Amino acid sequence: MTQAIVEVGARLRYDGRVWTLAVLEGARATLVTDEGASAVVLLPHLFADPSFEVEGGPAPGRVAPFGLLEALPVEVRERALAWQRHVREVETGFPDAVGQGAPREQFDPATRSLAQRERAKAEELTAAGWAASAATVRRMRARYRSEGLWGLVDGRAVRERSAVGRADERVVAAVRKVLEGQRERSTGTLVRLRRRVGWLLEEEYGAGAVALPPASTFNRLVHAVADGQGLLGTAAQRRWHASRPAPPFTPTVALRPGELVMLDSTPLDVMAVLDDGVTGRVELSIALDVATRSICAAVLRPMGTRSVDAAMLLAQMVVPAAMRPGWDAALSMQRSVIPYERLVALDARLEQAAARPVIMPETVVVDQGRVYVSASFISACESLGVSVQPVPPANGPAKGNVERTFRAIADGFSQYLPGHTGSDVSQRGTAAEQDACWSLTQLQELLDEWVICGWQERRHEALRHPMMPRVAVSPNEMWAALVALTGHVPVPLSADDYVELLPLRWQAVNDYGVRFGYRTYDHPGLNPYRRRRSPRADKNGRWEVHHNPYDPNRVWVRLPEGWLEVPWVHAGAVRRPFTAFTFDHVRRSVERRHGREEHEAAIAQALDALLRRAGQGLGTRRERTVAARAQAAAQMTDPSPATTPQQWPAPLAPGASYGLPGSFTVPLQDADGWDADDSLDDLEDDPDDEDYLLAALADGPDAAAGHADEAEVSGPTAETARDQAAEQTLDAAGAGGMRIYDPYQEAQAW
């Protein structure tokens, strides 16, 4: 290649104008125009101008793309290098750039003209079998001067090929349009796609104007157009690809622990034994620190995460994880890479802690789920000074770090457990429910241990230093490095702090206490505030009440003196743990009874009987499922960090308004047709297809006789026979007993 030369007096094109180089001094050039204007320009700036050109000089040569040359076939590359030697010999007399020795006689520039040398080279190549003429040699010389070695490459070897080949552009455009149009539709076959492409071509160009390629060619064309574009695959895959933001993507960067924490929930791919052999899916909620990739908190609950679970994630994050009995000493923070001695001096809570970082979040990233945008969760974050950053709806990539962590948990933890179900039904074994053997509490303990030994100490591929990209570190190692730069601030949570994280309601304090959700709570400490308005005028005089859906036995009322723990008036009647959804299941059974106080007492009696029978393996499968879920939730760690056993106040004595009349003497009838996967929310939607737990107070002999008369009118059915048997048992039990009454069975009899 011949390079252009810049010298004094040269005519240059720069900045869209023609200049004359007047002075060249070091790295500065003084330019003048024909009109007399002048400019002083640095040579690097002059050469970098896109319009720079030396008029009258050779075109600037290009450096050969050596990367593309290496990718060429060996024979093509060797032929180009051979042409380079021939062209050099024609121009200089020497085939190599070094120019050692004497040139051959027929290529000596001193004795032969350029035309003679070109003819001599053509004859030599023809004799060697290359079939080259003098014009071919001249053309290769010109290409070498303009493009260098790349100009000598056979153009057929570097010809760009279209992904769709020689397909009609109209057919390609129609295929792309139909694929884009069915992105949100259900998945179909390529046969359906081919028909729709044909219909579209007929609408746009007329019948028979554009021919469709054969089916096999059409299928290859579809894959050439759609592969990698998210236009084929399942409907879920197409929706996921469409939800991604347009590239280029902005990486999520966090430089200090707690700067960005992602919260999310997903069903765990494991069947858990809730209680009495009843199995069911559980839901996993985690908090992931982006800077260190540490799992700050992980909570397992029965399906249906509540806002209290999300708030408890925040509480777990800022509280050290205690060592459990039976854990290996290597899991303690003292044995880890974390700077234990320095941190214990700052925070005494870390003395017996496990090797899980304590991270105070600054910003939490959540999705649009009701749990994470609820008022209780937002208020919990505000109380801790945490900012909440919701991601756009249906945008999984916005929190891709936590989504990828869920898959890592499934691969590293879930698939090794009995009862593993796989990510979908196509991967589920035939005996997943029968294989399940771990309770929810045991699964939580296993998960906590795995987080410390299987996640926090494992090298993470995304944790690499920019200056040492070959070295991957673990979340604990990254936290140990960053905490030395950002510091560690202990944030102890008191019992009041935990109460603040619970869901709240605004209720009135009446003579009977506080009532909501068909439950009444009372305590002597409420006496000075009964039928009085609270200081909060914006809440219509109601008082702030916090409650735990997984422990409805008590609520907390904010009084001017502080929090008051108020028990449920019938807490003493129910001897087994229960949750809000257990109570709601029984409430639907007796909500048709008259009288608020009697109604609540009846619920308490029915609830106690349900939990007793379920604990003994009696009752329907649905009843055992409800009680098992309550037992599993109650076995989880209590959110309040009390150091002494809870001192429950004595239950209030039965009175005229909320006493417990009679005793529960008649066992419920067993029923079939329940499934462990049925939703409790469906109980009121289709009562004819489900069995209900219905318990009511005996209204006296007249009412019993009335029910017997109704049974006689309906005829000797199975329902009336069961009612008569219940009445006989009631008579044997005494006047103070109760009987089981099913209005749906009576309605069917009528």
- At residue 340 the predicted structure's pLDDT band, cuts being 50, 70 and 90, is low
Model confidence pLDDT, tens digit, residues 443-477? 888 888 888 888 888 888 888 876 778 888 889 88
Q: Quick one: 173 and 194 in the same domain?
A: yes
- Residue 741 CA to residue 570 CA, distance in Å, equals 22
**Token pair in block for residue 231:** 């236009």
Task: Provide the pLDDT confidence category of residue 690 given band limits of 50, 70 and 90.
Answer: very low
Clarify whether residues 232 and 286 are in a common domain: no
Q: Which amino acid is at 37?
A: A
- Do 331 and 477 belong to one domain? yes
Q: How far apart are CA 245 and CA 241, in angstroms?
A: 9
pLDDT at 523: 94
pLDDT class of 341 with cuts at 50, 70, 90: low
> Would you tell me the crossing angle of helices 701-714 and 718-733 to the nearest 10 degrees?
160
| DSSP 8-state class, residue 60 | P
Q: What are the two backbone dihedrals, phi and then psi, of residue 107, each rounded to the nearest 5 degrees?
A: -120, 20
Say yes or no: 447 and 510 in one domain: no
Cβ–Cβ < 8 Å for 738, 663? yes
Q: Are residues 464 and 520 in the same domain?
A: no
Angstrom CA distances, 140 to 144, 160, 301, stand at: 6, 21, 76
Which of 133, 157, 181 is the endpoint of a domain? 157
List Cα–Cα distances, 193 to 224, 236, 242, in angstroms. 14, 18, 19
Write down the pLDDT at residue 320.
Answer: 77
350 and 482 part of one domain:
yes
What percent of the chain is predicted at pLDDT more than 70? 69
Mean pLDDT of 27-46: 89
Q: For residue 18, what are its two tokens?
A: 């023609």
Q: What is the pLDDT of residues 225-265, one digit of tens each?
A: 888 788 888 888 888 787 777 777 777 788 888 899 999 98
Predicted local confidence at residue 711, as pLDDT = 37
How far apart are the C-alpha atoms of 582 and 217, rounded to whole Å?
61
Q: What is the pLDDT of residue 599?
A: 57
Sequence-ordered alpha helix ranges (H) in 93-163 = 114-127, 134-147
Q: Does residue 683 form part of some domain?
A: no
Q: For residues 395 and 425, what is the distance between their CA atoms, to the nearest angstrom?
A: 24
Coil, strand or helix at 214: coil
pLDDT in tens, 481-524: 888 777 766 665 666 777 877 778 899 999 999 998 778 999 99
Mean pLDDT check: name the lowest of 108-122, 426-440, 483-497, 650-664. Answer: 650-664
pLDDT at 123: 92
Q: How many residues does the chain have?
A: 750
Q: Is residue 380 assigned to a domain?
A: yes
Number of domains present in the structure of the chain: 6
191 or 599, higher pLDDT: 191
> What integer is the mean pLDDT of 653-661?
33
Using alpha carbons, select from 516, 518, 517 the residue that is nearest to residue 507.
516
pLDDT of residue 198: 93
Is 131 within a domain? yes
Cα distance between residue 93 and residue 744, in whole Å: 110
Higher model confidence: residue 75 or residue 309? 75
Percent of the chain with pLDDT over 90: 17
Cβ(394)–Cβ(367) under 8 Å?
no
- Asked which of 323-327, 402-406, 625-629, 731-735 is least confident by mean pLDDT, the reply is 731-735
How far is it, in rounded angstroms, from Cα 733 to Cα 666? 9
Query: By C-alpha distance, which of 113, 123, 106, 4 is closest to 52?
Result: 4
* pLDDT for res 59: 60
Does a structural domain hold residue 584? yes
Question: Is 480 within the bounds of a domain?
Answer: yes
**What average pLDDT does the segment 367-379 reach?**
80
Within a domain: residue 252?
no
Look at residue 676 in the predicted model and tell me its pLDDT.
38
Q: What is the mean pLDDT of residues 684-712?
A: 36
112 touches 120 (CB < 8 A): yes
Q: What are the start-end ranges of the H helices in 287-350?
A: 307-317, 340-346
Domain span at 31: 11-54
Q: Between 282 and 716, whose confidence is greater?
A: 282
422 lies in some domain: yes
Task: Please tell me whether residues 281 and 367 are part of one structural domain.
Answer: yes
pLDDT of residue 741: 45
Phi and psi angles of residue 418, each rounded to the nearest 5 degrees, phi first:
-65, 145
DSSP 8-state code for residue 421: -
Q: Are residues 644 and 742 in the same domain?
A: no
565 and 459: one domain?
Answer: no
pLDDT at 54: 83
Query: Beta-carbon neighbour count of residue 570 at 10 Å?
Result: 23
Same domain, yes or no: 549 and 659: yes
For residue 737, is pLDDT > 60? Answer: no
Query: Residue 565 — pLDDT band, cuts 50, 70, 90?
Result: very high
Burial (CB count <10 Å: 0-12, 13-18, 19+), residue 505: middle
Mean pLDDT of the chain: 74
Inform me whether the pLDDT recorded for 394 exceeds 80: no
Neighbours of 658 (CB within 10 A): 20
Instruction: Quote the pLDDT of residue 682.
Output: 39
Q: Which CATH number goes with the domain that contains 436?
A: 3.30.420.10
* Distance set, CA 253 to CA 426, 458, 503 (Å): 37, 21, 32
Residue 685 has pLDDT above 60, yes or no: no
pLDDT score, position 591 = 52
pLDDT tens per residue across span 253-306 = 888 888 999 999 889 888 887 655 578 888 898 999 999 999 988 888 877 666
Residues 421 and 454 in one domain: yes
What are the tens digits of pLDDT across the range 423-433? Answer: 777 777 777 77
Q: What is the largest CA-CA distance in the chain?
A: 139
CB 607 within 8 A of CB 587: no
Pairing of strands 514-516, 562-567: unpaired
Within-domain flag for 5: no
CA distance 535 to 543: 8
Between residues 318 and 612, the one the model is more confident about: 318
Indicate if the pLDDT at residue 695 is higher than 60.
Answer: no
73-100: pLDDT as tens digits: 889 889 999 999 999 999 888 888 776 7
Does 433 share its domain with 467? Answer: yes
Query: Is 371's pLDDT higher than 60?
Result: yes
Residue 732 pLDDT class (50, 70, 90 cuts): very low
